[in-house]
Structure 1
């Protein structure tokens, strides 16, 4: 990962759990035996830090497992002190409040979120799955327990920050206006424990809804951008990407001028970008070039850099990584037999490393370029200006900088594109990066191959 240029690793949940995905946490202080022990984790953390990298862990505070001791206590009776750690109502109360059903969202498909507890007159609220009951943050005792967990991992163990799962659902729909206040409080707790700790929220929603979460969280994932790049890869249509991004940045900045835009192509809940691109490596390269030359702090979902494939259901977008083409590869996990990412359909990492034109080396070059060019490496207060807007099938922009601005041009169509550079664009003459050597610049004309990208400096 360090050779790729990665500076931080986000681990999806590692705590004890009853499922393979481990978002149903049973013990916030433990390590699932499937992954090893706390000593193993500390060795991993030490190795990451020695390499100058950071580690962010997934912290699931929207819900627990139904097998968590808190819920096992809570379900034992209405008078148990842990009862208020979760949401409980009688059917009559649920009907009176009008919350028997919820609107399906992109990240949660359960419509009837209230579930029976055998022998109990009340039902409990669990919006993702009956095995993951939602926590009730009206309980001060619960808040303090969660904050103890935060302090433990930041200062007791030494992780560098958290990815916060289901951040928009911390409060149920009838109290959703309290979400932002909670995350502001949470952010203060994190800052007091470890001032430089990083937080990134999963707010799976339109950018306008994401924006207020920057009040408490340093970063939030930009789902609108993720889907916009996917649409471009699928359709070859721009739909005003740069203009939409500029509007989003204005919205984010009104809540926190130093917001960090967490950008991505896809994640562990979405069809893989390789499959979105129909297995077309040139389209995958285009997607990578867009992600890694736009503003923000980019995230790579493991396997994107080698073109792994996968479509839902979820376990098929989480298949084992292909390190080599050896059937007995000791580095390959064996938790499932892959359906999409097999040696016959995806080139393994070891093979790609030796191929200068591979997708993996394309990622390595782009990441190195991003680090080397100050205009590209700027994360906060995004430096973005639209360029060449009149050309169809072209996405172009300038990443501004006082002395070293760059011009980025992408051909999002399936044919070579002749682009006439304007007076502003003609000032950029130095080729810093190009997808293929067949790109040509002569005078004010740029010939850019299908799905090709070029980065020019002055």
Structure 2
């Protein structure tokens, strides 16, 4: 249940958390109430000050006037909340919410939902286990610059729905959780009726849309408004473009934004362990600069460099610890690594080679040796006292079991990770200003963004230490601060949790990317176990959840046992794992030394040992004594030895990175599942414009001499396509793409697919023009999306001929085919299983595809 809750959690404001009254009301007139009374449980409870969310016994409703309407009022910040009523005080007595007025979570539970904006909400009375009239508003914001305060809807429905006064532009925010450009919100009404409404790009009525006369109706003041006749149990407004009477070209399966980082391959570097330039046993900026040509020499014609185009530097700021995650000065570099001038020289040298540089920024905590903390701890009257969290007693909670509170000078301070890392108090405006100033300091130096450590734990709410709405609000402020200095700056977060729980961090203008930990473990598990099933499911889930391509892929990082150990030091499996994540959607990050087979398990220091450059003394890392001993496998697994071997792991990484860099399809193509007749094969396609790349990975332990491949549909133009295996350069046959953009039972002309081998098959048109104009796309919108019921399909303009609609599931099965005329069609999803589907619409030569999520 909690995973879905995290996915929908949002903030409507910036970072300031304002409590609003939320009143729940339920009619128990036809339901006997037990001695335990009536309660309400949901994900609002922690925010409202109760000990935990989803507790059926802590939030009681009362009926003081005996009218059988039970009520409870709580104070909560802006957000979207799920809840349900409980006739008693224990699970098993909770209501079964009908799907027509509920939202399904990841566990299949159906809950009620309410959106709280900037004012009080007094929910309409609803019968226990029954529905009120549902009204969903939807507006397409494609082409609009959405205001930082979000999109809202106003109208004469507001007071009836419990949202303060009519035309309150702060009360009801809309969200775009699936990144299709359509902002949506659903409300409950006590009765059907005809209602006026307008959308607002911001949170003041002055920013409301001007509704054209073609679809507007004048109110008493002469203002043109939209009108909806909400007479059904569930009602949905058309998702016209903001300020228009028509649909517009929204994001489709093949039309979505990409950014410079989607073209990049990143390399994570621990400077202390990369290369020592002065013989003191510690890596430094000068050493990193000397080794830049290994990473990327800036000349695309050479093949001696690794080819990465981005660097993530683990903490380089002044710190008393070897790892640097306890920072004592946010505007100074670690003296072990050199001077600020040395860093500036490195940054300039990297940029000359076309390498972007992002820095590890630690927002959650500082060092206990930071002057801010020493002054905070020195006196209860210090101006820095409130920059950290203090208590006269040990409050006993922490995110990892046990207490995160530590004694100091007769009081206790909060440090979630360790007493040497006291948590910063992000509710203090002076602290916040100082941290934004530090971020801007590095951006003005020219760094290209930040990797943010431990973003789930920034702001605690009571004893809730992770994933709070206040934390998401801080990240919205961080986004604004970052983009104000450099609109192209990248932010990538470490939100180490399940995929559904990560999604809020890359939604609603927070972070650009987060690391996909579940996908990383699925890759390693699939390669280790020789089965594609779990990895296929995870790929499909990631495709369903994230904004298109906007997540970071990797195998392991500095906090995990190295992948070489995880795969049993098996080079063939390492090669396959690399082939998978370097061709998948997302933005790949390598951990330094991964490409040569560095080992490392146990203490963190052993996962961060010195880089293995040669088979010589100290592996070529230093002329002195290394800060940590060299891995025992350096004699075989090192850069010099592997550079001389065309079949080495390092050569394999170079080849894959080169293929990705050269292929726009591998960098920007959307993902489609493909199928193979061989059970051990994972197959998927990447499609971009007129081309596709089909990945075919044999995860089994034996070669596959004959198998067929199928793709159910895509936006490819029909015709014959030449197939080339890009890794080897071999011709692999010809495939005929059908009118649905798919093909079936294709068999390549290549030799057997070896165990742990992956083919990278490019499909390039041989008979068509090879351009997108051969099969032009057109705009199609689906709303509501996600849905639990019927879906309205809207085209930007009415085609002159009939259109054909096809629905496919993620297994590639064609589920429905329909023909329709005009610009609109109602698609019923009753009886469909919950999950992701592809809806394909063709009218003449024009094709559009959309992703549809059905909730059950």
Report the Cα offset of residue 329 of structure 1. 5.5
Q: Distance in 2 between matches of 1:285 and 1:242?
A: 19
Q: Distance in 2 between matches of 1:323 and 1:342?
A: 12
Question: Does 2:492 correspond to 1:200?
Answer: yes
Is 1:383 aligned with 2:670?
A: yes
Pairing partner for 1:180 from 472, 496, 517: 472
SS at match of 1:406: strand
CA RMSD, 1 decimal: 2.3
In 1, Cα distance between equivalents of 2:728 and 2:563? 21
How does the TM-score come out when normalised to structure 1? Answer: 0.89
* Alpha-carbon shift at residue 174 of structure 1 (Å): 2.5
Matched, 1:133 2:422: yes
Q: Distance between the aligned counterparts of 2:748 and 2:331, measured in 1?
A: 63
Using the TM superposition, name which of 260-269 and 390-399 deviates more. 390-399
Match of 1:396 among 655, 669, 683: 683
Contact 1:435-1:453 at 8 Å conserved across structures: no
SS at match of 2:670: coil
* Other-structure match for 1:154: 443
Q: CA deviation at 1:419?
A: 4.3
| Whole-Å separation in 1 of the counterparts to 2:535 and 2:751 | 21
TM superposition shift of 1:442: 6.8
Residues 428, 261 of structure 1: alpha-carbon distance in 2 compared, 3 angstrom cutoff: farther
For residues 351-362 of structure 1, the aligned pairs below 5 Å read: 351-362=641-652
Q: Which residue of 2 aligns with 1:107?
A: none
Alpha-carbon distance in 2 for matches of 1:410, 1:389: 10
Structure 1 contact 238–394 (Cα < 8 Å) conserved: yes
Of 140, 143, 148 in structure 1, the residue corresponding to residue 432 of structure 2 is 143
Give the aligned partner of residue 458 of structure 2: 170
Question: Where does 1:247-262 land on structure 2 (aligned, <5 Å)?
Answer: 247-253=541-547, 260-262=550-552
* Partner residue in 2 for 1:50: 352
* Shift in Å, 1:239: 2.9
Residue aligning to 2:696: 409
Contact 2:709 2:747 survives alignment (8 Å): no
Aligned to 2:580: 290
For the 8 Å contact 1:407–1:428, the answer to whether it is kept is no
> What is the match of residue 79 of structure 1?
381
Do residues 8 (structure 1) and 310 (structure 2) align? yes
Match of 2:35 in 1: none
Give yes or no for contact 2:619–2:638 (8 Å, CA) kept in 1.
no
2:165 paired residue number = none
Verify: 1:279 aligned to 2:569, yes or no: yes
User: How many residues end up aligned between the 2 structures?
Assistant: 432
Q: Match for 1:124 among 408, 413, 426?
A: 413
Among 214, 223, 227, the residue aligned to 2:517: 223
**Bigger mean CA offset, 385-394 vs 296-305:** 385-394
User: Corresponding residue for 1:111?
Assistant: 402
SS of corresponding position for 1:397: strand
* CA gap 1:126/1:328 in 2 versus in 1, 3 angstroms: closer
2:758 corresponds in structure 1 to 453
Partner Cα distance (1:455, 1:443) in 2: 12
State the distance in 2 between where 1:424 and 1:115 align: 58
Go from structure 1 to structure 2 and tell me whether the alpha carbon gap of 1:443 and 1:87 turns closer, same or farther (over 3 Å shift): closer
Instruction: Write the mapping of 1:361-376 to structure 2, written as runs, cut at 5 A.
Output: 361-376=651-666
Q: Higher helix proportion, which one? A: 1
Distance change (3 Å), C-alpha of 1:328 and 1:275? closer
Q: 2: distance between equivalents of 1:423 and 1:171?
A: 48
- Quick check: 2:676–2:709 contact (8 Å CA) kept in 1? no
Distance 1:420 1:331 in 2: 47
For 1:341 and 1:298, the matched residues in 2 are separated by 28
The partner residue of 1:22 within 324, 329, 335 is: 324
SS at 1:384's partner residue?
strand
Distance 1:103 1:237, change over 3 A: farther
| Structure 2 unmatched runs, 5+ | 1-294, 297-304, 713-719, 732-745, 764-856
8 Å CA contact 2:514, 2:551 repeated in 1? yes
Greater mean alpha carbon deviation, residues 231-240 or residues 360-369:
231-240
Which of the pair has more CA radius of gyration?
2
- The Cα offsets for residues 107-128 of structure 1, whole Å up to 9 and x where unpaired, read as xxx63211000x32x2111111
Paired with 1:343 and 1:422, the residues of 2 have a C-alpha distance of 41
Greater percentage in strand: 2
The separation in 2 between residues aligned to 1:330 and 1:443, in whole angstroms, is 45
Q: CA offsets per residue over residues 65-92 of structure 1, 9 Å max, x none?
A: 1100000001112211111111111227
Shift of 1:446: 6.3
Give deviations 1:415-440, integer Å, cap 9, x for gaps.
Answer: 11244214559966322125999xxx
Q: Aligned partners of 2:593 and 2:620: how far apart in 1?
A: 17
